[in-house]
Chains A and B, each alone.
Chain A
């Protein structure tokens, strides 16, 4: 059964497991409670991940804690006890989401039957989704389709029409780094253009999920999360979908909106174009001012490492709008079907051997390096001797930065925010280098 697998660096990727991704999907449903039918350790690491975005997550999550005996004889007893504890804590649930870890999924428990026999007063979804199913994106995607199939009726539930073209956004999650702020900016742009956002799959209520089929078009955002759900909804309700990528940068945001407009025209695209023009003009003037003091925002080499769609779309905006880059490499955490970046010099497959080490290893002394990634890439780069690289976090895990103010990375507001962060990273790096140069200069004088 052995096969050709890329072994090297298989554990040097910061992706979490499907159990986390599925729980993140459920956690995005208002009032949903989650039960992890698996070991405490797995539950704890899921919880720790989700708490990065939602502080009170523990109030909505429980764990069955099966022991070795339960893995042999079944988890019914511990699962039932955990469900009862969950029901008692923090008010009624809008939805109960029960997910089996990988070892529990192997023993063939009838989780659906066990949960169903408890006469719950809310809808429930059960599924197997441990690490055997893959990483965060696979878990999220699978949970989305499973939940839609459980909640949606054969005939679509229709909402009252507002007269505006109506969209669903598939594959946005608050459990990506800065996800909530990005979601709000995307919704703002769409509403500014004249769309009605019907349902955000990944941040919605049970009621909105039930009426998901009443939209005119599905817009897949993070493709690794939302594409399977789009296919499911197309198959089930004939709902069309498009995959325009993500709106990074001013021009990138307008281009993104134009793709949606081409599939489903909106009334006020000009409003967005006007705001984009005004913001871009300000950014150019402001960048000129910074350049006069600090020099051009230039990096000999840049690496973009992030979830699949983010990596593509950030790389595109980085080179085409935000900074000048001599060599651009992209390290997406998942392979996605559409290519949203046509300006990267290299694009590593998600399972490619030691891509980060190869890329950072090829930076010559004296060259300036920019890494857009997570604290994990920063740790790796530091260990590889690139402490003087400029860093900017765009993905979890993030241990070396706090974002307390809700400002997006995406959209028109996000374009300014990202330019601000890039400039600050560049200035910090320049200051650190100048301090070292000063030390060397003084040493030589002595």
Chain B
């Protein structure tokens, strides 16, 4: 019987909604207010994302140091689909301006406003003049030929256009560009830790986590470090970084993605090199790798030679098998094979197959053969929850970065292999 997963989400057309991307771009930007030009219920998606993020942050024992901005909805109903939602949007904008006295109002458009053809930009321009404050609109309408990241990038560009100003540079300063779980998330925390170890100062994380009033001074940073580094998502951030470099002379540091040891080294050396701190960079790498090796020495007696399986069903934009294979090698695990789950469309499957074959000689299987393999292994490293009673480790959606990230993953695999439970189950890192 073919191996089943809890769910497959085959991605045929649009995957996501641009509204939540717009929200993410301003979510904690003090001074802003966001309006969802949508039915009220659409807001629950952003609310759900916020809720999960809040409790994940608490679970990681990290303080949530910023507060989310006010979010309103124009509360479109069926009658607005006949008469249009422009007046409703205008009324909501007036309310937001009077109630919150914000520095700007951002508008995220739903697919409903797109279908009914509201001219959101015209309403925004009119109200901007009337209210005397920036009303930021984007040409994205829910999922209509746009994705989450389109909304995110469009609003980011708009924030830069409206609020960034050329600044004299402050020596040794860095602006973090992107999201990846926010400033209290593991990604940004690790990047900040490594930059601070080089003697650099992070002046903020943009967009999403920088107050509107701070944006005018954001370009004082000498360099911008991109958070994230793969596929179309990364390309959008790179374009924004290039824009910052061209228009505001903030050097874009994004050639490497610190997502495994090799790339973390390259990333650190490139950042250190830009700031003339090559020697500090080399010392930091040596110190971090010594710590890592010390931890590995503790793990290896348990992990060496243990049979594992890798199950992949995630798009390459979000996942690089080489990163996981590095962990397999570091822990000297015995990789019995790689299973390609039934989550891919045919073309996508070919691309993943080629990518996997380029980085490992391990045999590649489909789901029909996978169940028998599961019986032979101690652990499955997987991108999807398998409905099979074998111990599994879920490979995180937001990659673990830097030395701390690698160590967390290695530790999670080690602990899973220490476990004597035979009932299976999934470990989230």
> Does A131 contact B13, Cβ atoms closer than 8 Å?
no
User: Which candidate, B46-54, B294-302, B320-328, B390-398, is the interface stretch facing chain A?
Assistant: B46-54
Minimal beta-carbon separation of A41 from chain B (angstroms): 4
User: Which candidate, A63-71, A172-180, A304-312, is the interface stretch facing chain B?
Assistant: A63-71
> Does A39 contact B6, Cβ atoms closer than 8 Å?
no
Task: With a 10 A CB-CB cut-off, give which of A8, A10, A42 has the most chain B CB atoms.
Answer: A10
Using A2-B88, A5-B75, A102-B112 as known contacts, say yes or no to A58 and B6 having CB atoms under 8 A apart: yes
User: Which candidate, A14-22, A193-201, A434-442, is the interface stretch facing chain B?
Assistant: A14-22
> Does B88 contact A1, Cβ atoms closer than 8 Å?
yes
B96, CB-defined interface residue at 8 Å:
yes
Interface residues in A7-34 by Cβ distance below 8 A to B read: 7-8, 10-19
Interface residues in A227-269 by Cβ distance below 8 A to B read: none
A336, CB-defined interface residue at 8 Å:
no
Task: With a 10 A CB-CB cut-off, give which of B17, B73, B85, B143 has the most chain A CB atoms.
Answer: B143
> Does B81 contact A10, Cβ atoms closer than 8 Å?
no
A286, CB-defined interface residue at 8 Å:
no
The contact string, 1 if C-beta is below 8 Å from chain A, for chain B 55-96, is 100000000100100111101111111011101101110011
Who on chain B is nearest to A133 by CB? B78
Using A2-B91, A39-B142, A397-B51 as known contacts, say yes or no to A45 and B15 having CB atoms under 8 A apart: no
User: Which candidate, B32-40, B158-166, B218-226, is the interface stretch facing chain A?
Assistant: B32-40
Minimal beta-carbon separation of A133 from chain B (angstroms): 8
B14, CB-defined interface residue at 8 Å:
yes
> Does A41 contact B16, Cβ atoms closer than 8 Å?
yes
Interface size on A, residues (CB 8 A): 50
User: Please, which residues of chain A bring their CB within 8 A of the CB of B145?
Assistant: 67-68
User: Please, which residues of chain A bring their CB within 8 A of the CB of B15?
Assistant: 40-41
The contact string, 1 if C-beta is below 8 Å from chain B, for chain A 398-415, is 011000000000000000
> Does B72 contact A7, Cβ atoms closer than 8 Å?
yes
User: Please, which residues of chain A bring their CB within 8 A of the CB of B22?
Assistant: none
A375, CB-defined interface residue at 8 Å:
yes
Minimal beta-carbon separation of A422 from chain B (angstroms): 22
> Does B14 contact A67, Cβ atoms closer than 8 Å?
yes
In the docked arrangement, what's the CA distance between A7 and B99, Å? 10
The contact string, 1 if C-beta is below 8 Å from chain B, for chain A 35-79, is 000011110110110000001001000000111101100000010
> Does B111 contact A71, Cβ atoms closer than 8 Å?
yes
> Does B41 contact A55, Cβ atoms closer than 8 Å?
no
User: Please, which residues of chain A bring their CB within 8 A of the CB of B286?
Assistant: none
Task: Name the contact of B44 in the complex, choosing from A15, A58, A133 (C-beta under 8 A).
Answer: A15
> Does B9 contact A10, Cβ atoms closer than 8 Å?
no
> Does B55 contact A399, Cβ atoms closer than 8 Å?
yes
Interface residues in B261-305 by Cβ distance below 8 A to A read: none
> Does B142 contact A5, Cβ atoms closer than 8 Å?
no
A171, CB-defined interface residue at 8 Å:
no
> Does A14 contact B115, Cβ atoms closer than 8 Å?
no
Who on chain A is nearest to B89 by CB? A2
B42, CB-defined interface residue at 8 Å:
yes
User: Please, which residues of chain A bring their CB within 8 A of the CB of B71?
Assistant: 11-12
> Does B48 contact A48, Cβ atoms closer than 8 Å?
yes
Who on chain B is nearest to A6 by CB? B75
In the docked arrangement, what's the CA distance between A47 and B43, Å? 16
User: Please, which residues of chain B bring their CB within 8 A of the CB of A297?
Assistant: none
> Does B73 contact A40, Cβ atoms closer than 8 Å?
no
Who on chain B is nearest to A63 by CB? B9
B45, CB-defined interface residue at 8 Å:
yes
A107, CB-defined interface residue at 8 Å:
yes
Minimal beta-carbon separation of A335 from chain B (angstroms): 14
Interface residues in A67-107 by Cβ distance below 8 A to B read: 67-68, 70-71, 78, 102-103, 106-107
In the docked arrangement, what's the CA distance between A45 and B36, Å? 17
Task: Name the contact of A10 in the complex, choosing from B6, B48, B75, B78 (C-beta under 8 A).
Answer: B75
Minimal beta-carbon separation of B76 from chain A (angstroms): 7
In the docked arrangement, what's the CA distance between A70 and B115, Å? 12
> Does A11 contact B40, Cβ atoms closer than 8 Å?
yes
Task: Name the contact of B52 in the complex, choosing from A10, A130, A399 (C-beta under 8 A).
Answer: A399
A151, CB-defined interface residue at 8 Å:
no
Using A8-B99, A17-B41, A48-B48 as known contacts, say yes or no to A71 and B87 having CB atoms under 8 A apart: no
Using A11-B71, A102-B112 as known contacts, say yes or no to A1 and B7 having CB atoms under 8 A apart: no
> Does B47 contact A102, Cβ atoms closer than 8 Å?
no
Which 9 residue pairs are nearest across A and B when measured between Cβ atoms? A17-B41, A131-B39, A58-B7, A131-B41, A11-B43, A68-B145, A67-B13, A2-B91, A103-B111
A-B contact pairs, 18 of them (CB 8 A): A1-B85, A2-B91, A3-B88, A7-B75, A7-B95, A7-B99, A10-B72, A14-B44, A17-B41, A19-B41, A40-B14, A40-B16, A40-B143, A102-B112, A103-B115, A131-B41, A379-B50, A399-B55
- Residues in chain A within 8 A of chain B (CB atoms): 1-3, 5, 7-8, 10-19, 39-42, 44-45, 47-48, 55, 58, 65-68, 70-71, 78, 102-103, 106-107, 130-135, 375-376, 379, 383, 397, 399-400
- Residues in chain B within 8 A of chain A (CB atoms): 6-9, 11-17, 20, 36, 38-48, 50-52, 54-55, 64, 67, 70-73, 75-81, 83-85, 87-88, 90-92, 95-96, 99, 110-112, 114-116, 142-145, 148
